[in-house]
A and B are shown apart, each in its own frame.
Chain A
Amino acid sequence: MLMLIKEKDRAVIREMFEALVRPVKLVVFTQGPVHLPGERPCEYCEQVVQLAKELGELTDKLDVEIVNFHTDKERVKEYGIQRIPAIAVVGDVDYGIRYYGIPGGFEFATLLEAIIDVSRGSADLADETLEKLSRIDSPVHIQVFVTPTCPYCPSAVRLAHQFAMVNEHITADMVEAQEFPELSRRYGVYGVPRTVINEETHIEGAVPESIAVLYVLQAAGKLNETEAQQLAAISR
């Protein structure tokens, strides 16, 4: 079979994966070999499975588990998976890092980074950001809509995933907008990256860490007065 990851890139990734500390698992949700009546065909499922398997071959610290979305209800529920293809990047604990749709193009880099972060069990965020995120004590769901050809998108995805790593109440999804047109329509996605936080709050484009964290606080209802003013000044 034709490899998705080129030989030259495999060597680079092997080297990147030398930074892995603890084992990581990619739990890949896909369709079964037999299509049930009424089941929607999943255009990229096969490729996502292959991509995950090829990554798994590059280090002994990365396991890949393939889950049938339609039949393995227990696993689907455990990871709260909504649609396929999906990948959960799981370490010692499940930090709530999800990929919906294929992490191709520019997004592939964010998958490699997420694997490394999860393996280390830490995210490289400013102290100020960590303090702000530590105030969040209720569920925050971040969905970052992307296209694989969008060069601005990875920074938004990476931030969302890093936020999820440092606070157990935060979960963060990359969503490939073209693969899930209904979802894109529901959230009015006409341009990417568009970040939707808890349904109501949204961010257009890629913004710096110090600003993104304010939107997350806003969605969680945890902005203090100064921060609220900062955010109001930005949104003007």
Chain B
Amino acid sequence: MKKTVSRRAFLKGGLAGTVAATTLLNSKSSEAAGSFEGYPEGMGVLVDLTRCVGCRSCEAACNLEQGLPEPAKPFDDYSVFDEIKHGEKRRTDETRYTVVNSYDVPGMEHPLFRKVQCNHCQEPACLTSCFVNAYTKTPEGAVIYNSKVCVGCRTCMVACPFYIPTFKYSSAFDPKIMKCIFCYDTRLKDGLPPACVEACPQEALTFGKRSDMIEAGRQRIKMNPDKYVDHIYGEHEVGGTAWMYLSSAPFDKVGFDTHVPKEPILNSVKDFLSIVPMVLTIWPGLFVGFHLLATRKDAAKKIEEEKKEVKS
């Protein structure tokens, strides 16, 4: 009696075996990767667009603190707000970790200003996309980057929902990712606020524990319901960010992407990605085993035949 195994059944068995092995071997680590709510003592910044006057002090302070190259225009030149490149307002690049853009909102007498920099996600997509672990989310709340291990694949630039990591294309010998690091090295790790926050004259940037910043944001909205949109951008966006925003205009009118998911970017690929290493490590062995088992009789026959030939 010969039992034939169809190709489909064969593959199904292989997949089932892999899933079983994954569940058995990986149950502990997959549990741990379930959800990360962020470090409880992590710091954050609440950016209040209704307070910002577009003075660009934060840009100047950042340039000085991070030792960035000289800007094309002085930081007290407000003509930069009219700059449009490739149909877009100014964005961060290798020479500037933060920019302030101006938005004319219909029905509002004065423009609203929005500061752009790394939002320091609770569960950063750049970090999870990096296969050499060049990124770290520190307990203080910063997402920092280690250029020594970076291989320059730039996956983080694709992964970031806010288009923040930029590449230092200008340097052939020392190319690296350039982005805001929350002034981690020089300030945050010592409990000091980042340079931009300290420079802000209007306290449009308020620094404190992330949980306190959410409280402060809620309080401001509650006290001035007519002034603010009832939403703190960054409280839940992409699983929460350390930098959060209050606005008097709908967020999509002032340059925010309101279509980003409310859970970490990682969640969209986590289930698939957790199977990849198992497929890569188990399938080859498993199928080689199947192959050897299936061809065992043929091989034995061949050897016997060979022996016969030698004898005769």
Co-assembled chains A and B: no
A positions within 8 Å CB-CB of B: none
